[in-house]
Structure 1
Amino acid sequence: MKTRLLPLAVVLLPFMAWSAENGPLSAWNASPAKSQILNWVAQSTQQDGPDFIPPDQRYVVFDNDGTLWPEAPLTFQLQFAVDEVNRLAPSHPEWQDNPVVIAAQKHDMAALEKAGQQGLMTLLTLTHSNMPVEEFDQRVDAWLASHRHPRFGCPYNKLGYLPMRQLLDYLRDKGFKTWIISGGGIDFMRRVAGEMYGIPPEQVVGSFSLTEFRLTDDGTQLEKTMKGAFYNDEAQKPVSIHLFMGHRPVAAFGNSDGDVPMLQYTSANKQVKPLGVLIHHTDAQREYAYDAHPSASGKLINGLSLAPHYGWVVVNMKSDWNQVFDPAQCSYHPAK
């Protein structure tokens, strides 16, 4: 019997290797992290298994900056705000003495960082408010079409991490509903989430401020303001999940200490066996390497120390991913 099976094994082994390399998560290397994620999905969707999760409970949440796309040297939305200030400044002489505008014009990131939350709010007020929502959408679209990442040289909306995009598709194929829960602006992210990640706008939750409804001569209009600003980070993430989603997630993916409350909230789900995953930026050659000292945002100290206690999977970008970006969308080749 063994003699008969040997030729079959010889035939199947190359096929099995091909399947692993070209399967739904082909941009992931064979590693404990990948195995843990795949095993969790398999157990959660096994109808008669002890860890089966009913389809109506399969809500999975993802941070965006640093989890689905890069956040260095600046978060993409902050870079958009800086570029918009520089584009608009010549038409606004009243801005010329504003220290935040001056710092943006000089690309003085140290001064912008020193300006802190108040400086960020100034940038957002100048570039994200006092306009109809349709105008803001047009500005974002124009920026995406005309600007490239300073390091990778690719359009910002082509820089979604290929392993994570594959994971999103895989989870949806298995009956999970994928949401973005991020500190990024809700309107900004909604302009890219559908095309980049296959996530519709109603499943994108981010920082926001209130809009104002107005009647116009040709219909109605929603005007963006900075009133009632809600910054969707850290402890606010579980709050926004409850407010917008109405379900406790069964899995959560993040990359920074700002995502820890969201992972803790998910890990406390007593109805299922939950999954928590942290993306650790360890690849200075193909992307960036940081945890305690990020260039802009994404500090990861507390999350790494808590991961063993909660059983969170820590994905090592350098060793767990064989691709970072989709070569069909971004042909960035790191120097060797």
Structure 2
Amino acid sequence: MEFDRREFTTFLLGAAASVSVAGPASAQSDPLPSWNDGPAKQAIVKFVHATTDAASPNFVPLAERIATFDQDGTLWVEHPIYTQLVYCFDRVPDLVKAKPELAKVEPFRTVLTGDREAIAKLGLDPLLKIVAATLTGVDVDTFRDEVAKWIAEARDPRWKRPYTELVYEPQIELLKYLRSVGYRTYIVTGGGQDFVRVYAQRVYGVPPEQVVGSAGAVSYQYGAKGPVLIKEPKLLLNDDNAGKPEGIHLMIGRRPYFAFGNSTGDRQMLEYTRAGAGARLAMLVLHDDGAREYAYGPAQGLPDTKVGRFTPELYDEAIKDGWIVVSMKNDWKRIFAFE
């Protein structure tokens, strides 16, 4: 299935404990065992030492140590379709059960058939109807509980595992490494903020208040048991492309020293990070391992895609501006913890 990330997130409605350290993390034997030795791993270690050594001219005070990570395609699998969109499709049967008249209305009728080819042909407007119907109209606590139940039960069709097991082990190590030297790690994603906050603490060690995502409006209302916040079909923040640095400013209030992404939707976040003074590190994952995960680009001659595009233009900008391109195939010893 092919969906344009930028268009989808336009409609998608969607501080971890910092460890005080006296100096750089030189005492750790190997904080990144799932990373192959090479320029990418070396750049990370060099950056950490440069910004956490009090004697370094690039030393960064604890309060300013901010690291931001995209989620889809950067921390976990995004192909062949974004996990949150799978959730939206899976919610349609319950929605129709509550409103039987929708069973004969498009695009709900098509989604109910389970015909993947037919669903893949749905346009943006039908997709918008599904997103709006499945992500809004409920109170935030009910939504959280529904997502928690789904994420615990849903299985990826390729690996037959929960989506939360399809997280990249090298990135989990990197998150822990950065936190061990006092960096606060934030998820800055085009996905729905409320959706990602449900599992971010358990899966990534990132608390909900450090998740910045595409956010929809909520309204304060009175329910049967008292005050509730109802999710409304109004977008407040499209946290993709230029929306990422905008969201960082609004939600974090500090420019990151470290940023990690994987697609054109992350370009502005990396540009914004590198534009700051001092030592700043920008990184991009290139999905070039079709055997262990997926291979797509179209940078470096890889197959084109509409889900997490890494274009030749983005690759050229990365090389020109000193961003580190991480080859999934060559830089990661293993991709998943279950390997």
TM-score over 0.5 for the alignment?
yes
Query: What CA distance in whole angstroms lies between the structure 1 residues aligned with 2:145 and 2:308?
Result: 28
1:198-237 correspondence runs (5 A): 198-237=205-244
Counterpart secondary structure, 1:263: helix
TM, length-normalised to structure 1: 0.86
Residue equivalent to 2:307: 297
Query: 2:288 aligned with 1:277, yes or no?
Result: no
- Please give the alpha-carbon distance, in whole angstroms, between the structure 2 residues aligned to 1:266 and 1:208: 22
Give the secondary-structure state (helix, strand or coil) at the position aligned to 1:64: coil
- 5+ long unaligned stretches in structure 2: 1-26
Identity %: 39
- Go from structure 1 to structure 2 and tell me whether the alpha carbon gap of 1:25 and 1:158 turns closer, same or farther (over 3 Å shift): same
Q: What is the letter of the counterpart of residue 146 of structure 2?
A: R
Say which is worse superposed, 72-81 or 48-57, in terms of deviation.
48-57
Q: Deviations over 1:46-94 (max 9, x none)?
A: 1111221121211111000000001011111011111111343344222
Query: How far apart, in 1, do the equivalents of 2:209 and 2:110 lie?
Result: 35
Indicate how the Cα distance of structure 1 residues 52 and 188 shifts in structure 2: closer, same or farther if over 3 A, else same. Answer: same
* Among 48, 53, 73, the residue aligned to 1:46: 53
Contact 2:297 / 2:304 at 8 angstroms: preserved in 1? yes
TM-score (norm 2): 0.86
The 5 A counterparts of 1:183-198 are 183-198=190-205
Runs of 4 or more, structure 1, over 3 Å off, are 106-117, 293-296
For 1:1-336, list aligned pairs within 5 A.
23-108=30-115, 112=119, 114-270=121-277, 272-292=278-298, 293=303, 296-301=306-311, 302-327=313-338
Moved more, 146-155 or 163-172: 146-155
Change (3 A) 1:87 1:296: farther
Contact 1:29/1:321 (8 A) holds in 2: yes
Gap runs ≥5 in structure 1: 1-18, 332-336
Could you report, residue by residue, the CA deviation over 1:296-317 in whole angstroms, capped at 9, with x for unpaired residues?
5100113212111110000000
Query: How far apart are residue 154 of structure 1 and its match?
Result: 0.7
Q: Aligned partners of 1:63, 1:80: CA distance in 2, in Å?
A: 19
Distance 2:190 2:66 in 1: 19
CA RMSD between the two structures = 1.9
Which letter maps to 2:308? G
Structure number with greater Rg is 1
Asked if the contact 1:179–1:203 (Cα under 8 Å) also holds between the matched residues in 2, the reply is yes
Q: Structure 1: which amino acid aligns with 2:147?
A: V
RCO higher in 1 or 2 (8 Å CA, sep ≥ 6)? 2
After superposition, the Cα gap between the structure-2 partners of 1:104 and 1:231, relative to the gap in structure 1 and judged at 3 Å, is: farther
8 Å Cα contact 2:188/2:248 also seen in 1? yes
Q: Aligned pair in 2 of structure 1 residues 231, 100: CA closer, same or farther (>3 Å)?
A: farther
Q: CA deviation at 1:228?
A: 3.5
Higher helix share: 1
Q: Is the 8 A contact 1:75 1:296 kept in 2?
A: no
Residue identity opposite 1:285 in structure 2: A
Contact 1:60 1:178 in 2 (8 A): yes
- Structure 1 residues 181 and 103, CA, compared in 2 at 3 Å: closer, same or farther? same
Whole-Å Cα distance in 2 between the matches of residues 87 and 295 of structure 1?
Answer: 31
CA distance in 2, matches of 1:83, 1:294: 27
Counterpart of 1:298 in structure 2: which amino acid? G
Give SS of 2:186's match. Answer: strand
Give SS of 2:79's match. Answer: coil
Is the CA contact (8 Å cut-off) linking 2:297 and 2:305 kept in structure 1?
Answer: no
CA separation of 1:27 and 1:115: change in aligned 2, threshold 3 A: same
Structure 1 stretch displaced more, 253-262 or 101-110: 101-110
- Give the equivalent residue in structure 1 for 2:11: none
Q: Which stretch has the larger CA shift, 111-120 or 127-136?
A: 111-120
Amino acid aligned to 1:253: F
**C-alpha displacement of 1:208:** 1.2
Contact 2:69/2:188 (<8 A) preserved: yes
**Which deviates more from structure 2 when the two are superposed, residues 106-115 or residues 129-138?**
106-115
